[in-house]
Amino acid sequence: MLHVDLIASIATLLDRHAKQRPGQVAYWDSSRSVTYAELATRTASIAVNLAKAGLREGNKVAIYLPNGVDWIEACFAALRAGAVVVPISFDAAEGEISYRLTDAGCSMIIMAAARKELIAKICSDAGIAPIVTFAGAEAARAGIALADLATESAAKPLDPDDIDRSSFIIYTSGTTGRAKGVLLSLRGMLWIAAACWAPICELTDKDVVLSALPLFHSYGLNLSVLSVLAVGASEHIMEKFSPQQALDLLQTGKYSILPGVPTMFHYLLHRAQEAGIQRLDSVRLCISAGAIMPAALNNVFEKHFRTRLLDGYGITETSTMVTMNWLHGARPMGSCGLPVPGLAVRIVDPSSLEDVPIGEEGELIVRGPNLMHGYHNKPAETASALRKGWYHTGDLAKSDASGYLTITGRIKELIIRGGQNIAPAEIEEVVVRHPQVTDCAVVGIRHATLGEVPCLFVVAKADELDVASLMDHCRAHLSSYKIPEATHLVSEIPRTGSGKIMRFKLVEALRRT
């Protein structure tokens, strides 16, 4: 079951595939491609030259690049040089970038030349002077170019074989505010490839993946970067997700696996319905994680495309996946699947920490070889989250008699209306089924007598929403105390790169009105 051969150092994996499939394209984007033989050679040379430029073992290297082959090479080269990789979203705001660079203590940045002035300003304001390497157009004019560092060198890279050290600082999605840096090992990340993607989703060297997942996020880094390398698959990296572009590519018959988050599959389905497209050609499997997949969307997607869409549940602190639905056999729609083999999970009462009965809601806690080392420079938060070997997720879940888990919400997101608990996800699951609704989110707002009441934000199709009809729809499927007290029409729902709703931004928007 466990594919232990996939758990190895980056150098070992690259050397293996360079020998077994040297001419096979490993990754490609809209600009260029790289074979496994080229990837092994280029990343070794880049690692050597980064060390010559001043990078030392254990140094933190920020990767501030858009999705693409440059991102892949920068990541593998930094790891081969013994550095700790700190991915930063290419869409991050100035303050977010500054916080990550200073909190992680980055001594090097590998970045797009187009953002040179922004990074120079951030570093000047923060009083830091990291070594900067540039990629993309105008890289050579900007300074040290990543492409030039790929020139073959007689020296050998450090290629550390300690895969248990902290190799990544991945900043959490920040759905409730300021992000925390999660310390993850290469062993923990590749354990997910060995225990989940390879045995459960049957990812192999024969697969061709089409991925628009943001590589700075743990889900994209784990599946689209490290696991593709681990099994020796090929992958087309989209810089950004576009439903039309994705559909056009999927009609070519080149691809077998499409990973994404629920919002991606929602927009892909909507665009396909508009265009009259009913097949994803050679795609054998779609994978969803990062946020809760509504059962209605899962059902409609599979019926429309006649392609499996498997949902799973993962979090950064567990190197991504905790549960996954399996490729074969029946499954309860709306469930995020069974625990990944080798992981121990419990659903407990948050107060007593006693296990709750089957079917009852409690906090999900997790133990296994994929747990984080802790939060970077945050010992109190680490001690709160990791207790007696168990990671306390803060997520509410319930299990059926067969062991299938369903995530019902976040403990801190619970809306307590007059003493009755309301999970926002339950309302969202109903609202999104209304024919005029494209996307939605629910937050709790203060109420003078009830404490909190649910407030609904809706993205409507064609910007038209019959609120009375929507409320009738809610009353038909929800208890009266769960009906939203207010409805706001918005152009978009703020989400993280993994598709999670940033509810605090909606609350902030309400306060400003």
Q: What is the CATH number assigned to the segment(s) 241-410?
A: 3.40.50.12780
Sign of CA dihedral 130, 87, 159, 317: positive
For the four alpha carbons of 91, 94, 100 and 105, in that order, the dihedral sign comes to positive
Task: Assign a CATH topology to domain 4-189.
Answer: Rossmann fold (3.40.50)
Residue range 88-135, pLDDT digits in tens: 999 888 988 999 999 999 999 999 999 999 999 999 999 999 999 999
Averaged pLDDT of the chain: 94
Among 398, 441, 423, residue whose Cα is nearest residue 482: 423
DSSP string for 114-154: GGHHHHHHHHHHHT---EEEEESTTHHHHSEEHHHHTS--S
pLDDT tier at 177 (50, 70, 90 boundaries)? low
The CA-based diameter of the chain, rounded to the nearest angstrom, is 74
C-alpha distances (whole Å) from 244 to each of 31, 59, 66, 257, 268 are 19, 41, 20, 17, 8
Please tell me the chain's helix, strand, coil percentages from 3-state DSSP, rounded to the nearest 5.
Answer: 35, 25, 35
Find all residues with CB under 8 Å of 135, minimum gap 6, and list them: 65, 70, 74, 110, 111, 112, 113, 145, 146, 147
> In whole angstroms, what separates CA 486 from the centre of its chain?
31
Which ranges constitute the DSSP H helices of 290-443?
295-305, 379-385, 424-431
- What SS3 class is residue 363? strand
> What does the alpha-carbon distance between residue 431 and residue 410 come to, in Å, rounded to a whole number?
19
Could you tell me which CATH number the domain at 417-512 has?
A: 3.30.300.30
Do 4-189 and 241-410 come out as alike in CATH topology?
A: yes
Other C-beta atoms lying within 10 Å of the C-beta of residue 126: 14
* pLDDT-derived band at 244, boundaries 50, 70, 90: very high
pLDDT tens for each residue of 344-375: 999 999 889 999 999 999 999 999 999 999 99
Tell whether the model's pLDDT for residue 174 goes beyond 70.
Answer: no
Quick one: residue 497, left, alpha or beta (phi over 0 = left, psi -120 to 50 = alpha)?
alpha
Residue 330 pLDDT exceeds 90: no
Q: What does the alpha-carbon distance between residue 245 and residue 254 come to, in Å, rounded to a whole number?
A: 14
100-104, 147-151, 294-298: which has the minimum mean pLDDT? Answer: 294-298
Please report which confidence band the pLDDT of residue 294 belongs to, taking 50, 70 and 90 as the band edges. confident
Q: Where are the domains of the chain?
A: 4-189, 241-410, 417-512
Give the integer Cα–Cα distance in Å for 40 and 76.
9
**The predicted structure's pLDDT at residue 173:** 62
pLDDT at 13 over 70: yes
